[in-house]
A = this chain, B = another copy of it.
Amino acid sequence: MIGLYPEFLRQTTPSKGGFFDALKDVTGLDPLPFSCARAALVYGLRALGFNRMDEILVPPFLGQCVLSALARTAFPAMTPSRRTKGVLVVHQFGYRQALDSIEREAAKNGWVVLNDCAHTLFSSYEGEAVLAWGDFSVASFSKLYPCVLGGALFSRRAEMIQTVREHQAGLNSGHAHWVETAYEVLERVKRDPQMPGMEFEIDAVYGYLPNLVAFPPKAFAGLPSTKTEILEDIARRKKLLNLIQSYFPTSVLRRPGSDVVPFAVPVSGEAAVLERISARIRERFLLDVPVLHFDFACNMLNPDYRQALMIGCHQSWTEEMVMKMCEYIKGELT
């Protein structure tokens, strides 16, 4: 079964390193490595002085593990109130949110803009990387690459980066051990998803990851190590998006002014029909194309959540496979 998230690497290749330099080359931004995007979020919020009485406006359908991470040092909320101090903008699946209008609203209310690029590492808007937007950004590499774990924080606010670095420096070396343990558990879970107690193993790891600053060295094995590799993967993703768009010109969202580098491609349709198609694709093609909520308005302040078939884009999704599947979906949707 090929899933939405990248597979782990069955053959362990030696760690190549070079990823962060290549990433800096591609994005023009300086990444501060973290165990995962959630930890980057927690340490970023701490550096900005957030505390548990400060509400952060979040979109609905946010995963429990992100909510739980936010609650370490702030208070996530779905409705703005007088306590709102920040807004978490999640660009789903590679699709940028309405940056201009959210930025206006944030400026009007004095909200800090937390730019959640967990799904959206390389998309751009009017020629600028989405990653460069907001007060600080967090990235999750395991959404795009078979690296199991790993994230980063980015910010153009130099004094904030300085504070995060100071917090990191005061931490003990135990972090390296714990992030290695976390990596091994999550890799084992991917290797054997039926393993007994799996859900508790994951809950335990998700319990401590938000406090871990260390990046797992083993993750380098699943990450690209050169600028060329990163650019080739970006080109491949965009090609798949164009392909899917050519099958479903009205069901796949277009974002004018944006260059979308997808983590996955949402195809809209009637919920019950999508669920039926998803189940059949699972049986017939051994592909996991889940039905998930996607904000077709791409504006968390005025969203339009509808269910969509989510087609994966990582390196296991070949062009041929996606074409066959799209033919099938097309037959079922019409």
Interface residues of A (CB under 8 A from B): 52-53, 55, 60-61, 64, 67-68, 71-72, 75, 77-79, 81, 83, 172, 174, 177-178, 196-197, 199-200, 203-208, 210-212
Q: CA of A79 to CA of B75 in the docked complex: distance in angstroms? A: 11
> Are B77's CB and A78's CB within 8 A?
yes
Contacting A55 at CB < 8 Å: which of B53, B78, B204, B211?
B78
Q: List 30 A-B contacts (CB under 8 A).
A: A52-B60, A52-B64, A53-B61, A64-B68, A64-B71, A64-B72, A67-B68, A67-B75, A68-B68, A68-B71, A71-B71, A75-B78, A77-B77, A77-B78, A78-B81, A79-B79, A79-B81, A79-B83, A172-B196, A174-B197, A178-B197, A178-B200, A199-B208, A203-B207, A203-B208, A203-B211, A204-B205, A204-B207, A205-B207, A207-B208
Nearest B residue to A199, CB-CB: B211
> Are B208's CB and A204's CB within 8 A?
yes
Q: CA of A55 to CA of B77 in the docked complex: distance in angstroms? A: 9
A205 contact set on B, CB distance < 8 A:
204, 207
Q: CA of A81 to CA of B200 in the docked complex: distance in angstroms? A: 33
A210 contact set on B, CB distance < 8 A:
203
A67 contact set on B, CB distance < 8 A:
68, 71, 75
Contacting A174 at CB < 8 Å: which of B53, B200, B212?
B200
A204 contact set on B, CB distance < 8 A:
204-205, 207-208
- The smallest beta-carbon distance between A65 and chain B, in angstroms, is 9
- The smallest beta-carbon distance between A173 and chain B, in angstroms, is 10
> Are A53's CB and B60's CB within 8 A?
yes
Nearest B residue to A67, CB-CB: B71
Contacting A52 at CB < 8 Å: which of B61, B71, B197, B203?
B61
> Are A200's CB and B208's CB within 8 A?
yes
A212 contact set on B, CB distance < 8 A:
200
Q: CA of A55 to CA of B75 in the docked complex: distance in angstroms? A: 13
Q: CA of A53 to CA of B75 in the docked complex: distance in angstroms? A: 16
Q: CA of A203 to CA of B79 in the docked complex: distance in angstroms? A: 28
Q: CA of A205 to CA of B52 in the docked complex: distance in angstroms? A: 21
Q: CA of A55 to CA of B81 in the docked complex: distance in angstroms? A: 14
